[in-house]
Amino acid sequence: MMTRAVKISRSTLRALRRACAQAFAALSLVAAASLAFAPSALANCCTVKSGGSPNANAIHSLYDIIFYIAVLVFVAVAGILLYSVWSFRAHKHPVAAQIHGNTKLELGLTATATGIVVVLAAVTFIKLPSIINPPNSNAGAASVLSASLTAPTPPNGNKLTICVTGRQFIWRYTYGANCNKTAWARRLPYSYQQMEVPAGVTVDLVIQSNDVIHAWWIPALGGKVDAVPGFTTYTWFKALHSGHTYFGQCAQLCGRGHAFMTARVKVVTLAQYTAWLARLAQEIKQQNDQVTQLRQQLIQQGYLTSSGVF
């Protein structure tokens, strides 16, 4: 009687384990299906963002090609592995067959791997020019453009130059040609955190840092570019549609406030951009005038000297 009771309890335990495994598998399947049919949840889950600029679109298409090839390779290797584990399991083949070499198989695998590398290299070199080289701005944008010899440069040399300066923990944007050299002398307009650009205009970004390494990255507008102290790096984008705001983040760990170093790019029409830039310059001038007046008052009252030092 004791032996039979133990057998029953063991069989019941096995049944419970089987039921739990089936329930877990069913719940996993339901969870996977709910994610698969939720477009917002899967938006850009496996691919990079795009749609905001031609270079971002080129990066997206190159990434997709490489990703799909990698998935095919993974599925093929995993399938062969699972087939081998099942077909040559120990109780079916207790003694492993000793096979020395297979020239055809080795040549086939080598040729396949070489072909994949050649395809990836060819696709990369085909896509690189559209990622690196900026296009011309749309017609009718000449009023905000400036010619410059610094890279990258559109074929006709006309572009909108904006200096992006990283500092702990905020981005500063200065608008105008040679903004990295003559910004203060020319009193160029500037803004913080949010950059404003006109749609259809090729924007050349001159990227620098005042303190530590930062990284400028708006995923929908192109690739990540480091801002390195003592160096100047460049990138470009061409916002395709007005009425959009694109969000990004500093992509290099730059200190305790790194998580709060966000970035935004607001895309407007050319007329809106021209009016906004003029208004921004006027507001900065008014604020500078107020500071100058306050300084003069403090000097007259004896709180400051003309050099600003007691």
Q: pLDDT (tens digit, 9 = 90+) per residue, 152-197?
A: 778 877 889 999 999 999 999 999 888 888 888 888 999 999 999 9
State whether 169 and 233 are in the same domain. yes
Model pLDDT, residue 178? 86
Model pLDDT, residue 75? 94
Model pLDDT, residue 170? 94
Model pLDDT, residue 48? 75
State whether 270 and 199 are in the same domain. yes
Model pLDDT, residue 16? 66
Residue 157's domain is classified under what CATH number? Answer: 2.60.40.420
pTM score, whole prediction: 0.72
Model pLDDT, residue 121? 93
The pLDDT-based confidence of 5 (bands split at 50, 70, 90) is very low
Query: What span, in angstroms and rounded, lies between the C-alpha atoms of 206 and 173?
Result: 10
Model pLDDT, residue 264? 94
Domain assignment present for residue 9? The answer is: no
Domain assignment present for residue 24? The answer is: no
Model pLDDT, residue 301? 81
The pair of three-digit structure tokens given for residue 130, joined into one six-digit string: 């559209």
Query: What span, in angstroms and rounded, lies between the C-alpha atoms of 308 and 61?
Result: 56
The pLDDT-based confidence of 44 (bands split at 50, 70, 90) is low
73 vs 22, higher pLDDT? 73
Model pLDDT, residue 144? 57
pLDDT of 232 above 80: yes
State whether 274 and 151 are in the same domain. yes
Domain assignment present for residue 30? The answer is: no
The pair of three-digit structure tokens given for residue 8, joined into one six-digit string: 């029953």
As a whole number, mean pLDDT of residues 194-213 equals 93
Query: What span, in angstroms and rounded, lies between the C-alpha atoms of 143 and 39?
Result: 41
Closest CA to 171 of 224, 222, 227: 227
Query: In which region does residue 63 sit, left (phi positive, over 0), alpha (psi from -120 to 50) or beta (all else)?
Result: alpha
pLDDT of 41 above 60: no
Query: What span, in angstroms and rounded, lies between the C-alpha atoms of 144 and 159?
Result: 8
Domain that holds residue 83: 47-94+102-132
Domain assignment present for residue 246? The answer is: yes
Phi, psi for residue 147 in degrees, rounded to 5: -90, 140
The pLDDT-based confidence of 7 (bands split at 50, 70, 90) is very low
Model pLDDT, residue 308? 57
Domain assignment present for residue 309? The answer is: no
Model pLDDT, residue 73? 92
As a whole number, mean pLDDT of residues 276-285 equals 90
Tally of CB atoms within 10 A around 194: 14
pLDDT of 147 above 70: no
pLDDT of 242 above 70: yes
Query: What span, in angstroms and rounded, lies between the C-alpha atoms of 176 and 144?
Result: 9
As a whole number, mean pLDDT of residues 293-307 equals 80
Domain assignment present for residue 120? The answer is: yes
Q: Are strands 225-227 and 214-216 parallel, antiparallel or unpaired?
A: antiparallel
Query: What span, in angstroms and rounded, lies between the C-alpha atoms of 218 and 246?
Result: 7
Query: What span, in angstroms and rounded, lies between the C-alpha atoms of 227 and 160?
Result: 19
Number of domains the chain contains: 2
pLDDT of 122 above 60: yes
Residue 108's domain is classified under what CATH number? Answer: 1.10.287
The pLDDT-based confidence of 263 (bands split at 50, 70, 90) is very high
The pair of three-digit structure tokens given for residue 131, joined into one six-digit string: 């990622």
State whether 173 and 108 are in the same domain. no
State whether 52 and 73 are in the same domain. yes
State whether 212 and 260 are in the same domain. yes
Model pLDDT, residue 47? 75
State whether 128 and 233 are in the same domain. no
State whether 202 and 262 are in the same domain. yes
Share of the chain above pLDDT 70, in %: 81
As a whole number, mean pLDDT of residues 110-139 equals 88
